[in-house]
Amino acid sequence: MEKNIGILTSGGDSPGMNACIRAAVRTALYHGLKPFGVRRGYDGIIDDDVFLMDSRSVSNIIHTGGTILKTARSPRFRTREGRDAAYQNLKKRGIDALVVIGGDGTYRGAAEFIAEHPDVKIVGCPGTIDNDLYGTDFTIGFDTAVNTAVQAIDKIRDTATSHNRLFFVEVMGRDAGFIALRTGIAAGAEAVLIPETVTTVDMLLEMLEAGRQKNKSSMIIVVAEGDEEGGAFAVAEKVKKRFDYLETKVSILGHIQRGGSPTYADRVLASRLGAAAVDALVEGETGVAVGVVHHDAVRIPFDHAVKHVQDLNPALLRLVKILSL
């Protein structure tokens, strides 16, 4: 088995990445391996920005957001030259196994790399707030992001009720409505607009009108940033012209959803997956991502993970409708 393991975080940061790094480092030490930290994702391999870690390198980080290894998007790693340079650096240091923590793009990059350099083994951990990765029920950071959004909307609700307002709250999710859907249910929103389902402005106006007839004095609509009608500002503009019963306001939650101390659920998930990734490498696995499905740790090939889309739970969509009556 390889003696030197590189660990990196890549793509968008998410709360719980640090807990995952900690678990990977300590599991590597447990197996008698040498863990190396790679700074700034794939760029760090290309620039040989790599350092030896020990158990104390990951002290006091389980509760922190962001990533101590820093993260980056690396256009150079998308090129053959960049990946070849990365390979040479890994060989030089005797690193022939990597744990990569990131999203869909990170998996694609890893798959590309091992197709060209199969003597380096790579296992991925799902680190993204969006939950849009196939092969795990939840990604590291999703639970924290939803909790942050829910807490923000709880505060917005105070103003909405006090002033009789209609609030459009935009949450993250350019391609996926997972954050919006769960946030909407937990925050008691009247409706949730997400890219996966079509809700026209006419349909929305019908819902708002029904709310008015039931004497609702305030309403909250959660909008995923990638909704087909546009973000919260665009939707609010269209609605305002035809619904003036309540004053309309918009709030974009933005980057607060990416940061902050991870919830217990994200810390446990990240710890499990960081350890599972190193265990997989020790068992000789490569080209797979680890995940938790129905409470069990699983491994899924990168190719499979990036070609499939995690489905939204239709029962949750139904729930939004019923609970907004």
Strands (E) across 143-212 are located at 165-171, 191-193
Which span sits near ligand ADP by CB under 6 A: 60-68, 105-113, 200-208, 289-297?
105-113
112 or 229: CB nearest ligand ADP:
112
What is the size of the binding site for ligand ADP (CB under 6 A)? 17
41 or 184: CB nearest ligand ADP:
41
Which span sits near ligand ADP by CB under 6 A: 99-107, 227-235, 277-285, 290-298?
99-107
DSSP string, 269-313: HHHHHHHHHHHHHHTT--SEEEEEETTEEEEEEHHHHHH--PPP-
Q: Which residues contact 280 (CB under 8 A, 6 or more apart)?
A: 123, 288, 290, 299
Cα separation, 214 vs 209, in Å, equals: 9
Q: How far is the CA of 220 from the CAs of 51, 132, 175, in angstroms?
A: 48, 24, 22
Q: Which residues contact 115 (CB under 8 A, 6 or more apart)?
A: none
132 is catalytic: no
Of the residues 34, 70, 93, 108, which one makes contact with ligand ADP according to CB under 6 A: 108
Site for ligand ADP in 29-68 (CB under 6 A): 42
The residue from 13, 43, 104, 130 that is catalytic is 130
24 or 166: CB nearest ligand ADP:
24
Site for ligand ADP in 76-95 (CB under 6 A): 77-78
State the catalytic residues: 130
Residues that bind ligand ADP (CB under 6 A): 10-12, 42, 73-74, 77-78, 102-106, 108-109, 112, 128
